[in-house]
Amino acid sequence: MSIPEAVDLANRIFRAAKEVNSEALHMVYGGPIVSPEHASHFYLETSAVGVIGGSTFERIPTEERIKGVIGEFKRVGVLAEENRYLKKELMKKMRFDEIVGQSRAMQEIYEIISKVAGKNVNVLVQGESGTGKELIVRSIHYNSDRYKHAFIKVNCASLPEQLLESELFGHEKGSFTGALQQRIGRFELAHQGTLFLDEIGEMSLVTQAKLLRAIQYREFERVGGSKTIKVDTRIVCATNRDLWKAVQEGRFREDLFYRLNVISIQTVPLRELKEDIPLMVSHFLKKINEKFQGDVSGVTAPALDALLAYDWPGNVRELEHVLERAAVLCEGDRIGIADLPAYIQQAAPVSGEAVGQGDFADKPLQSVEKEWILETLRKQAWNRTKTAEALGFTRRTLFNKMKKYGIKPIPK
């Protein structure tokens, strides 16, 4: 085949390839190219970006460095395929794998997620702290058509009102003290994706009004700006508060409530999912073993009885923390009842395995819990945020329990 014939053939192949995939790299493999002049001619007369193969460059006097580049080109197809496979596996993992449970209550939640994920409607997820609200929100995003675009989270309880508005909508340079440069808000970052507003019940009425307008008209202005920015963003919110009660008390806008609550998902506390606890234990132990390179295979029957008897005020988050602590302290390959915190041991039915341990033996459950909280507070130097995390509580739950037991913080 002559060079002109090869050029004509290559151009016809490239045009056909472009119709299938406009982003494909056009490469020439083999052919009559036997000199640098031939290769240069191909680059000028076709859309080829490279020439590969033993029948071409290896016959052209060229530097070893160029040959190395050619070798990398040969791997492009393989790497692209690996990338597609890994993305596919990642998407699968981020859909339902992190939500654990086969009970009827959990099956109903899965069914709702499957129905609403592909619909472009706003969703409100409500439930107690530690019940997996964020996992549900992520599943909605990754089961929707928006999964290829951004998933952006904003915790409305962690920012003061002035900063929350800037976080959501962005700001222009010089719009307030400290605004040294333009900032893109989370609404813009979530364009064509999902914006997750966590702890939406903590948002002030002023910010609620601005949020309502952004949702209603799909547009907003940055703080200190005049340009209207249009976005296509799906809103999914979560809260551990009773939002309807907040509406009745005047702490949450009724019109915003209806905008956010197109579809409502109510999470179920762990005390009502006791049949799912063995499955959750297996799931968390697998994660813990990977985290600590451990080999804990399970829990003993008395330990499982204790886990099933306890009421789990901190829900699934508390269960995970308890299992992580027990796996670290466990000396064998199975977690025994002695490896569990004393307050959970006290919840266990009487069995052949020792229940009481040390100073906590034979004490009422409330007394055990109080001492457990005090002990953790001391270990964390009375830092309540760190203490709540260590106990698997929210800060609010810890404050309520300290008030209940008359535990007063040490004055600074």
Question: Residue 64 falls within a domain, yes or no?
Answer: yes
What pLDDT was estimated at residue 374? 84
101 lies in the same domain as 250: yes
> From CA 196, how far away is CA 125, in angstroms rounded?
10
**What's the rounded Cα separation, in Å, for the pair 323 and 326?**
5
Q: Examine the domain organization and report whether 308 and 249 are in the same domain.
A: no
pLDDT at 282 over 80: yes
pLDDT at 58 over 50: no
CATH of the domain at 183: 3.40.50.300
Last residue of a domain, one of 244, 268, 292: 268
| Statement: residue 20 has pLDDT above 80 | no
Do 264 and 357 fall into the same domain? no
Alpha helices in 128-204 (DSSP H): 133-142, 161-169, 186-189
Q: Tell whether the model's pLDDT for residue 396 goes beyond 90.
A: no
- Domain assignment present for 84: no
Q: What phi and psi values does residue 183 have, to the nearest 5 degrees? A: -125, 130
The model's confidence at residue 179, banded by pLDDT at 50, 70 and 90, is: confident
Provide the residue count of the chain: 412
CATH of the domain at 298: 1.10.8.60
Residue 60 has pLDDT above 80, yes or no: no
Q: How confident is the model at residue 80 (pLDDT cuts 50, 70, 90)?
A: low
What percent of the chain has pLDDT above 90?
41
Mean pLDDT of 225-240: 92
Q: pTM, whole model, 2 decimals?
A: 0.64
Which residues span the domain enclosing 373? Answer: 366-412
Q: Which residue has the higher pLDDT, 36 or 26?
A: 26
pLDDT of residue 368: 61
| 197 pLDDT tier (thresholds 50, 70, 90) | very high
Instruction: Flag whether 188 is in a domain.
Output: yes
Are 110 and 58 in the same domain?
A: no
In this predicted model, what pLDDT tens digit does every residue of 309-363 receive, in sequence order? 999 999 999 999 999 999 998 888 889 988 999 899 888 775 444 444 444 434 4
| Dist CA 392 CA 284 (whole Å) | 14
Determine, yes or no, domain membership for 81.
no
Q: Name the CA dihedral angle for 110, 116, 122, 125, rounded to a multiple of 10 degrees.
A: -10
Domain endpoint, select from 215, 234, 268: 268
CATH number at residue 370: 1.10.10.60
pLDDT digits (tens, 9 = 90+) for 136-149: 999 999 999 998 89
Give me the pLDDT at residue 61, please: 47
Point out the domain boundary residue: 268, 286, 319. 268
Question: Is 197 in the same domain as 146?
Answer: yes
Domain annotation covers residue 371? yes
Tell me, yes or no, whether 319 and 390 share the same domain: no
Same domain, 222 and 112: yes
* Residue 248 within any structural domain of the chain: yes
Q: Is residue 182 part of a domain?
A: yes
Do 119 and 231 lie in one domain? The reply is yes
Q: What's the total number of domains in the chain?
A: 4
Q: Which residues lie closer than 8 Å to 60 by C-beta, 6 or more apart?
A: 33, 34, 35, 36, 39
Does the pLDDT of residue 22 top 50, yes or no? yes
What pLDDT shows up at residue 52?
65
Residues 33 and 138 in one domain: no
> CA 104, CA 85: separation in Å to the nearest integer?
33
- Is the confidence at residue 59, as pLDDT, over 50? no
50 shares its domain with 32: yes
Inter-residue contact 210 to 220 (CB < 8 Å): yes
Whether residue 162 is found in the same domain as residue 248: yes
The reply to whether 123 and 258 lie within a common domain is yes
Q: Is residue 79 part of a domain?
A: no
